Structure 1
Amino acid sequence: MAERGFTTIENEWITLKDGTRFAARIWMPDGAEQDPVPAVFEFLPYRKRDGTSPRDESTYPVFAGAGIAGVRVDIRGSGESDGVIDGEYTERELADACELIAWIAAQPWSNGAVGMMGISWGGFNSLQVAALRPPALKAVISIASTVDRYNDDIHYKNGCHLSAQLSWAATMLGYQSRPPDPALVGERWKEMWIERLAGEPFLMEEWLSHQRRDDFWRHGSISEDFSSVEIPTLVIAGWADGYRNTPLMAVEGLGDKAKALIGPWVHKYPHFAWPKPRADFPAEAIAWWNKWLRGEDNGIDRLPQARAYILDAIRPALRRDSDPGFWVAKDSWSPPKMQCFYVEQFGRLTEGMPIPHAPEHPVYLRSPLDTGTASGEWFTLKPDAELAIDQRLDDAGSLTFQTALLAEDHDYLGRPVVTLALRCDAETANLCARLVDIHPDGTATRVSFGVLNLAHRNGNAAPAPMSKGERTTASLTLDACGYRFRKGHRIRLSLSTAYWPMVLPPPEDPGLTIDIASVGLGLPLLGTHELIDVKQPDDPDPLPKYIEHVPGSTKRHVLRDLSAGLTRYEIHEDTGLFEHPGTGLSTRQLREETWSIARDDPMSMSGISTWTCDMQRSGWFVRTVATSSIFCTAKDWIISASVIAYEGETEIFRKMFEEKRIARDLM
């Protein structure tokens, strides 16, 4: 079919019933008013004008060329849309999305069928809006998202407090402090900007007020009721990202309504993600939309239920541009059969089940509190030191068990499970388990990991303190993986009581006494599968090129003060200054973040994150500086934040969020 011409509508105002004006960028196929077309809707706080414009311009023109309109809308208080943001995935946000879908479906150029898609925030709200069943929404593509907001987002993980919660709160404070573009909103820009600066929340206050899996987190978690989603859903993720569990959880929960695709990628769209190989996302998405928004019988509904890239004995690297491996498909996904391992009397990881009623073999483990500096970031955007590096650094502070040299390849797909019995002399402690591939030269690759706040050992809704000194059995489900351990390699299980800075420490550091005779490891066998090819994009470099004024840079440092016993983890991220050639708008974001801890004092933990965001064009310059911090006592989390705004060299706004002490709830 010949590619269709299209027009890009740089800004379309959509006014909802409450009078709020939303800003949309629309890619409109030619002749749509005479021959109505389906539309794909994306709803984000990340600014269509500058924040997401590169990826939008790599995707929506391709959709429009296939006769599918693209409608990219900024949520309240973002970009050029009116109002002030009120949180993540709030009832108001989802209601706005439903009203916008109805608006799209009612346009003369629309055939009445709307799809919704997005990555991260847009992947989240796509699933959440689908659960509300707006009549015009017919299909969803959700990338790097979650069905469980408590356990598989950036805030908490099995009751453990993720440092990414501060990082993300700081990011949102910086992002939301930016003004609309005067070229679109006119003289109102400064009034809108001041309204945002004065009204934007410090989101971490709300997140920290919900340390258990309560109604706040159940809202928007479609795992609470998978049956609420009745439309076809394509769920995509990457093994190098924190959001790797969702595709398999979605097909287990949604059944035949869902298809899963998992590649080797970081937190990016599959047609420009790293590590390679990539996937031709635009082509697959067009087939998906044509089936469910046009009724075209193109076979996309007959795809295998789960497709995954099996990483083949990958190695840590300064930059992972490409990961070896192979694509597999499973026509029907079901929880996999587990291959079981136990720790025999000499500490070797051996295939089989732990011996029932074996004599207790206690080993005391108390990891240095800076164990975890090789973990990388939970939320990954680049295939560099954001990914886990060689695990020998962290294994030095861990209790490790490994197999003999493998006599054959071992292939796995799914979520590993660790079970063990332990004792603790405090009400709670953190336990981290890592599945590691030991190469013949000793290089250690993290394959999967999981963490557990032991007060949450029986669930996240109603945690219970440990009984001091009493033997307790715990089960820990690790993140999903698709991996081949090669012949001649070893499988290692690494246990630690710290995983900093990814996971913040509990108030006490008692260590754990682990009965190694009780340790069991279940690995999910790949099982019956078909080897397949997943088409790579024809265009190997689909992102548009903007005008570079200042190059970007990335740095990560771990500094250990051996005299003071203090470790600092420092992050520097500079996007560089780039100008959009069509709008003349130049933007730059700078992140400076530092975490600090003493190796033997959990109360010494601190984190400070600062975002500096610049926008400019000829004769106009604005800057915001947003800083967020977290400290702790044995009883409280202590958080604070500030935002300062400049027009040119003049400070025009300053807001200090009052320091808040929020009681620690068994964490």
Structure 2
Amino acid sequence: MHIRPADSFPYETTHEDVRIPLADGQRLFARVWRPLTDEPVPALLEYLPYRLSDWTAPRDWQRHPWYAGHGYASVRVDVRGHGNSEGLPGDEYDATELADGVAVIEWLAAQPWCDGRVGMFGISWGGFNSLQLAALRPEPLKAVITVCSADDRYDNDVHYMGGSVLAVDMHAWAATMLAFTSRPPDPVYAGEGWREQWLTRLEAVEPFIHTWLTHQTRDDYWKHGSVCEDYGAIDAAVLAVGGWHDPYRDTVLRLVEHLPHDRVRGIIGPWSHQYPDRGLPPGPAIGFLQETLRWWDHHLKGEDTGIMAEPLLRSYISESHPPATVYRELPGRWVGDDAWPSPNVTPLTYALQGEPVLVRSPQRTGLDAGRFFPFGNEADLPPDQRDEDAHSACFDFPVPEDGEPIEVLGRAAVSLNLRPDAPRGQVIARLCDVAPDGSSTLVTRGALNFSARRGRDQAVPCEPGVNDTFAFELNGIGHTFPPGHRVRLAVSSAYWPWIWPQPDAAGFTLDPVGSTLELPVRARTAADDDATAPAARRITFPAPEQAEPLGVSHPVTLDEQRPERLVVRDVAKGEWRLEVDPRYGGTRVYPDGLEFTEDALETYTIQEDDPLTARTRSDWKIRLHRPELGWDVTVDTRSEISCDATHFITADEVICAEGTEVLFHRTWEKRIPRTAG
């Protein structure tokens, strides 16, 4: 990582905090970094609910000053009702958030230091609303860069997977946002009215989980904000970026397929849910800021940077690697495709062989799935899959030792001939790379709720004892199966805690007759190895660089010694418990004197023979302390989901205090019918 000192940029820079006025009188808190120049420049916007004055500040300082130093006004804005912005919090990506975003874009374009052209970028939430705002077509918005985001809020987000409730992150993220939304404004930035503003905000807090569990099929709620409903609504140029270890990577494939090729490019690397320049595992990291500058200079300044001469899709194909929960760097190579679907990719279909097999996986199958959102931590990725494979029906396809490697790029697909034992259930398919020593590395996976087999927008029960076809795609991947290895398809009826089990969860019989696995195999092209190709066609990236860091310190606390991921088995009860420390940031001290401490623990329990014992719990403790002001506030939250045969049962609690005085305490308990989940 190369750290660029401020005096090495083309422009000297300055920054200031401002309030952006909205039509209803509320004001959004913003931080603006600008180059010191008499000429107006394009503006770049990052728009998030995650608190620019503390939570994202270290990341913000890596990139916003860098953009300012290269001739852009780079602006970070807190969403309404979050951080130090005024107003009340709402649901994620609701109409108010998007309308405010349009107003912010128009405000930026009207500033004397802006030339009227605006770009928008972000990762995750900021990548989502970048696409959503592009679909609303505010006139000044000319280009966006969306990183680790989704075009489909129902089936490619943290809520549902293949029509099944995504227990691991629907709950964890709803609980996280409950804690995040309950944090107070900072008196250093919000002023003396911070407490009144906080209490007013807390009165409006509603746990997201209530809404998310109420909509168990892909209805109008999920279609809102899903740009896949109408790709044609986007006329801004879109650079879509993802990582093979991020759950949202399929969006990149769909965007380069559906958007006009003169306005879109895609990059998928080996990365987790992080900006690709941060150097967090798995690498290799790239000079992402330099690459995005090429995008901005072309689309916002009209300069020929060669960015549109790059292949439509640049992808990293990993070499085979042994199973591990973290990789500093994955071996592999970059390839380019000028169309998607690519003519270089052809389907290779394997017919499943053997006699019908009964699949009744123990409910704890899935404990070795790894983290849904890998962030580059030591225990994020799936360990050796042999234990999971033992609870699945496995079909192996050898790669001949005297043959060529099989390079997969895109989305594998399965079509399975199943005979369900009950009206409800789910099927999970994992693609693994099995080495000669028997170790099994997870390559990709997919799932299908039985009730969603006719479409994600409906819930159609199965007829027990009757064979039916269950066809679905697995998540996209770039991976090489070398000669002497085996391609393994592992099929299970359970995948806890990723997939919430159905009430009966009796399993199914898989008949190999009529069942297939289809791999998207990419042929190696001459251009892949042509060192004499024009520079614009050789896929290389500079080394990563960033602006000087903010200077946040991270005191070591005893809590940081807790395991990131711990599995506990109660042999007598037949119960399994998974404890996860998400490690978002721990304790940090900011240069402005703020001491910020957060601690979270997620717990998932289930008995291996009873799907109705599934239970999730998330506990958060947050403290914000300014010793020089005597300001000391805490936020404690608890969130739980359990179930019976007919309902999900949710319980949430928020306790907020200033010093020893509790200022707010509320609990919510709801029973939500299980319509599809």
Shift of 1:17: 0.9
Q: 1:415 matched to which residue of 2? A: 411
Residue 395 (structure 1) aligned with residue 406 (structure 2): no
* Segment drifting more, 211-220 vs 247-256: 247-256
Q: Distance in 2 between matches of 1:538 and 1:497?
A: 43
Give per-residue Cα distances to partners, 1:526-567, cap 9 Å, x unaligned: 136543443143448975441223354552111111111111
Q: Secondary structure at the match of 1:547?
A: coil
Q: 1:548 matched to which residue of 2? A: 554
Q: 2:424 touches 2:505 (CA, 8 Å); kept in 1? A: no
What is the aligned counterpart of 1:506 among 484, 502, 506?
502
Q: 1:317 touches 1:384 (CA, 8 Å); kept in 2? A: no
Q: 1:535 matched to which residue of 2? A: 541
Listed as ranges, the matches of 1:333-344 within 5 Å are 333-334=340-341, 336-344=345-353
Q: 1:379 matched to which residue of 2? A: 373
Q: 1:74 matched to which residue of 2? A: 78
Q: Distance in 2 between matches of 1:490 and 1:262?
A: 25
Residue 445 (structure 1) aligned with residue 441 (structure 2): yes
Shift of 1:318: 4.1
Give the direction of change, closer, same or farther, for the CA distance of 1:387–1:536 in structure 2 (3 Å limit): farther
Q: 2:324 touches 2:381 (CA, 8 Å); kept in 1? A: no
Give the direction of change, closer, same or farther, for the CA distance of 1:541–1:517 in structure 2 (3 Å limit): farther
* Segment drifting more, 548-557 vs 426-435: 548-557
* Segment drifting more, 608-617 vs 129-138: 608-617
Uncovered stretches (5+) of structure 1, i.e. residues with no partner = 346-360
Q: Distance in 2 between matches of 1:637 and 1:301?
A: 49
Residue 111 (structure 1) aligned with residue 105 (structure 2): no
Residue 254 (structure 1) aligned with residue 259 (structure 2): yes
AA of the residue aligned to 1:393: D
Give the direction of change, closer, same or farther, for the CA distance of 1:95–1:556 in structure 2 (3 Å limit): same
Q: 1:12 matched to which residue of 2? A: 18
Q: 2:4 matched to which residue of 1? A: none
AA of the residue aligned to 2:99: A
Residue 598 (structure 1) aligned with residue 602 (structure 2): no
Q: 1:319 matched to which residue of 2? A: 326
Shift of 1:179: 0.7
Q: Distance in 1 between matches of 2:391 and 2:675?
A: 27
Residue 308 (structure 1) aligned with residue 315 (structure 2): yes
Q: Distance in 1 between matches of 2:466 and 2:164?
A: 22
Q: 1:100 matched to which residue of 2? A: 104
Shift of 1:373: 0.7
* Segment drifting more, 52-61 vs 402-411: 402-411
What is the aligned counterpart of 2:129 among 121, 125, 143?
125
AA of the residue aligned to 2:309: R
Residue 489 (structure 1) aligned with residue 495 (structure 2): no
Q: Distance in 2 between matches of 1:177 and 1:494?
A: 42
Q: Secondary structure at the match of 1:17?
A: coil
Q: 2:195 matched to which residue of 1? A: 190
Listed as ranges, the matches of 1:95-494 within 5 Å are 95-163=99-167, 164-256=169-261, 257-272=263-278, 273-334=280-341, 336-345=345-354, 361-407=355-401, 408-494=404-490
What is the aligned counterpart of 2:635 among 611, 624, 645?
624
Give per-residue Cα distances to partners, 1:265-287, cap 9 Å, x unaligned: 11000101421111111111111
Q: Secondary structure at the match of 1:384?
A: coil
Shift of 1:18: 0.6
What is the aligned counterpart of 1:571 among 575, 580, 586?
580
What is the aligned counterpart of 1:91 among 92, 95, 106?
95
Give per-residue Cα distances to partners, 1:20-76, cap 9 Å, x unaligned: 111001101102xx2000010011000000111111111111101111111100001
What is the aligned counterpart of 1:615 among 624, 630, 638?
624
Shift of 1:642: 0.7
AA of the residue aligned to 1:207: W
Q: Distance in 2 between matches of 1:27 and 1:539?
A: 18
Give per-residue Cα distances to partners, 1:446-486, cap 9 Å, x unaligned: 10100000110110112211012111011020000000011
Give the direction of change, closer, same or farther, for the CA distance of 1:617–1:534 in structure 2 (3 Å limit): farther
Q: 2:552 touches 2:588 (CA, 8 Å); kept in 1? A: yes
Give per-residue Cα distances to partners, 1:411-462, cap 9 Å, x unaligned: 0100000011111121121100000001122111110100000110110112
Q: Distance in 1 between matches of 2:657 and 2:619?
A: 15
Q: Distance in 1 between matches of 2:290 and 2:601?
A: 38
AA of the residue aligned to 1:515: D
Q: 1:584 matched to which residue of 2? A: 593
Q: 1:349 matched to which residue of 2? A: none
Q: 1:665 matched to which residue of 2? A: 675
Q: Secondary structure at the match of 2:134?
A: helix
Give the direction of change, closer, same or farther, for the CA distance of 1:517–1:384 in structure 2 (3 Å limit): farther
Q: Distance in 1 between matches of 2:660 and 2:522?
A: 59
TM-score normalized by structure 2? 0.93
Q: 1:559 matched to which residue of 2? A: 568
Q: Secondary structure at the match of 1:171?
A: helix
Give per-residue Cα distances to partners, 1:295-349, cap 9 Å, x unaligned: 111111222100011111022224311111111111222254211111234xxxx
TM-score normalized by structure 1? 0.95
Q: Distance in 2 between matches of 1:379 and 1:662?
A: 26
Q: Secondary structure at the match of 1:340?
A: strand
Q: Distance in 1 between matches of 2:399 and 2:518?
A: 18
Shift of 1:386: 1.8
Q: Distance in 2 between matches of 1:399 and 1:528?
A: 32
Q: Distance in 2 between matches of 1:493 and 1:481?
A: 15
Q: Distance in 1 between matches of 2:582 and 2:220?
A: 35
Give per-residue Cα distances to partners, 1:59-108, cap 9 Å, x unaligned: 11110111111110000111100112110111111000000000000000
Q: 2:3 matched to which residue of 1? A: none
Uncovered stretches (5+) of structure 2, i.e. residues with no partner = 1-7, 529-537
AA of the residue aligned to 1:85: P
Shift of 1:139: 0.3
Give the direction of change, closer, same or farther, for the CA distance of 1:315–1:287 in structure 2 (3 Å limit): same
Q: Distance in 2 between matches of 1:7 and 1:149?
A: 37
Q: Secondary structure at the match of 2:602?
A: strand
Q: Distance in 2 between matches of 1:278 and 1:540?
A: 12
Q: 1:330 touches 1:528 (CA, 8 Å); kept in 2? A: no
AA of the residue aligned to 1:569: L
What is the aligned counterpart of 1:21 among 27, 43, 51?
27
Q: Distance in 2 between matches of 1:344 and 1:564?
A: 37
Q: Distance in 2 between matches of 1:560 and 1:543?
A: 43
Q: Distance in 2 between matches of 1:16 and 1:525?
A: 51
Q: Secondary structure at the match of 1:509?
A: coil
Q: 2:281 touches 2:326 (CA, 8 Å); kept in 1? A: no
Q: 1:266 touches 1:383 (CA, 8 Å); kept in 2? A: no
Give % identity.
Answer: 41
Q: Secondary structure at the match of 2:599?
A: strand
Q: 2:532 matched to which residue of 1? A: none
Q: 1:391 touches 1:446 (CA, 8 Å); kept in 2? A: yes
Q: Distance in 2 between matches of 1:470 and 1:255?
A: 44
Q: Secondary structure at the match of 1:123?
A: helix
> How well do the aligned residues superpose, as a CA RMSD in angstroms?
1.5
Shift of 1:113: 0.2
Q: Distance in 2 between matches of 1:137 and 1:470?
A: 53
Q: Secondary structure at the match of 1:255?
A: coil
Give the direction of change, closer, same or farther, for the CA distance of 1:2–1:49 in structure 2 (3 Å limit): closer
* Segment drifting more, 220-229 vs 327-336: 327-336
AA of the residue aligned to 2:666: K
